[in-house]
Amino acid sequence: MKTRILIIGAGDAGKTVFNEFVEKGKESHIVGFLDDDPSKAELLIGSKSILGTLSSIDKVIEKYSVTEVIIAIPSASQEVLGSVISSIRIFDSRISIHIVPSGEKYFETVPIVPSLEELTVFELTGRDEYSIDIDGIKHKYSQKTVLVTGAGGSIGSELCRQIIKFGIKKIICIGKGENSIYDLAKSLKLYTEFMENPPQAIYCICDVRDKIGIRKLFNEHKPQIVFHAAAHKHVPMMEYNSSEAVSNNVGGTLNILETCCENHVEEFVFISTDKAVRPVNIMGATKRLAELMVGYFGKHKNIKVAVVRFGNVLNSRGSVIPLFIEQIKAGGPVTVTHPDVTRYFMSISEAALLTINASVISAGNEVYVLDMGEQLKIYDIAEKLIKFHGLKPNEDIKITFTGMRAGEKLYEELFYGTEEQLKTSNSKIMYFNEECLLNEEQISEIVKNLETIKSFSDEKVREFLKKIVPEYSYDKVSFEDMRVVN
């Protein structure tokens, strides 16, 4: 069946989306526009008409056999989004809906179509508007060479996609998985081919623990700003691969930090997680230990560092959203670990842009915490996603409880509660200054243990982490109880 796309919004974003389809030779895919502005009634945009207002969406979808809707209103209110989506879903739940992310309203000279996000239930949960210091970021990043580790991952790849919009000279994208880095290269090309002066993009398959390989890359490309996003993040999986988690999350961070110091990198930004707060799992404990190491280097090694801590990002690999959607398409059941489990959520683009903004604010040695809004109950998310697909929870699709997985909490935290939470120039970015909690003797012990960590038993790995991160608490796990995916 031929793709037939209806664009909602005939403003700048809608026109840009249409022009990008024209440039790709896909103008015929667009059936037209909808817009509530009476001054635009019956206007032509290129060869396409404004077919009516938002209230006529069901009639237009039927008349033109629409298969996909693009909502091109970056500043649309939750009420507008909710009304549009409800109208589409009631008429035909099979229609694909994509949205221009709210962050795209900050950019005028980069393409929009590559940024389109498949609409999920979270666009309807009332996330507050956010802003970024677009001029400050451009001033800082203009003609800089930026390196991103974990560039093939959800956060790392989005950081790359956003960073290239700020006039940088070169981006070095480091990842361990060849397929994910290949996918990143394809997605960045969609942006750079539209740019008048695109940055040079270097794609490197390299493990962050590889001392020789990492030093070669730094020596060759001379990065000025480094974002360290590489990490093993899957909580249950890391409970049963504890030595690998420490080797990668701690050892990899240490290697990147040391290489940054050797090469006089201007700034190091560490991507952390809410699971580093009072950790009850290996992943959280390793990220907390990495946070502490970053603080040590910032105080003692003459390098500007910042930690940015946030919760779950929507539709990231391993998150509940893709899993729930997969389960719904398979006919269910949708599996939830516990009826009361809650999590923080934020869109990937928002998390990346606020992280970049935090680096502009940073004077060095701060821990930044992104405002994640209210925690959402996972059961409610499951219900809304089922309804979002035009189905009835526990009738058409069952929701079942599987029990908490190894290393999971009922809820997450962003602060320990003892820090003085300070405001920044951006209402969505808070910070605190943490005293350096590691000494040289502890750093030496970490280095020594990293050399032999792969030979440690799971219990010995936990004892090592507990010694350096006393707030880490854990239960002994049984490999027979392993439930990686519910």
List active site positions: 275
Q: Give the distance between the most distant pair of CA atoms in the chain.
A: 74
Residue 435: both structure tokens together: 């005293």
Report whether the peptide linkage leading into residue 333 is cis, meaning its omega lies within 30 degrees of zero: yes
- Dist. CA 233–CA 180, nearest whole Å: 16
Estimate to the nearest angstrom the gap between the alpha carbon of 112 and the chain centroid: 18
- Dist. CA 465–CA 393, nearest whole Å: 42
- Dist. CA 286–CA 239, nearest whole Å: 11
Contact status, residue 318 vs residue 484, Cβ threshold 8 Å: no
Residue 326: both structure tokens together: 């997969």
Angstrom CA distances, 79 to 84, 118, 127, 292, 380, stand at 9, 18, 12, 43, 19
Residue 431: both structure tokens together: 């910070």
- Count of residues in the chain: 486
Residue 302 CB coordination number (10 Å): 9
Residue written as tokens 């404990």? 285
Strand partners, 240: none
Which of 117, 126, 130, 38 minimizes the C-alpha distance to 82? 126
Strand partners, 399: 334
**Sequence-ordered strand ranges (E) for 142-275:** 145-149, 170-175, 200-205, 225-228, 267-273
In this structure, the strands spanning 5-8 and 30-34 are parallel
Contact status, residue 223 vs residue 262, Cβ threshold 8 Å: no
- Dist. CA 336–CA 462, nearest whole Å: 27
Angstrom CA distances, 288 to 172, 241, 282, 416, stand at 26, 17, 10, 12
Residue written as tokens 């105080």? 299
- Dist. CA 234–CA 237, nearest whole Å: 5
The C-alpha torsion from 76 through 79 and 82 to 88, rounded to 10°, is -80
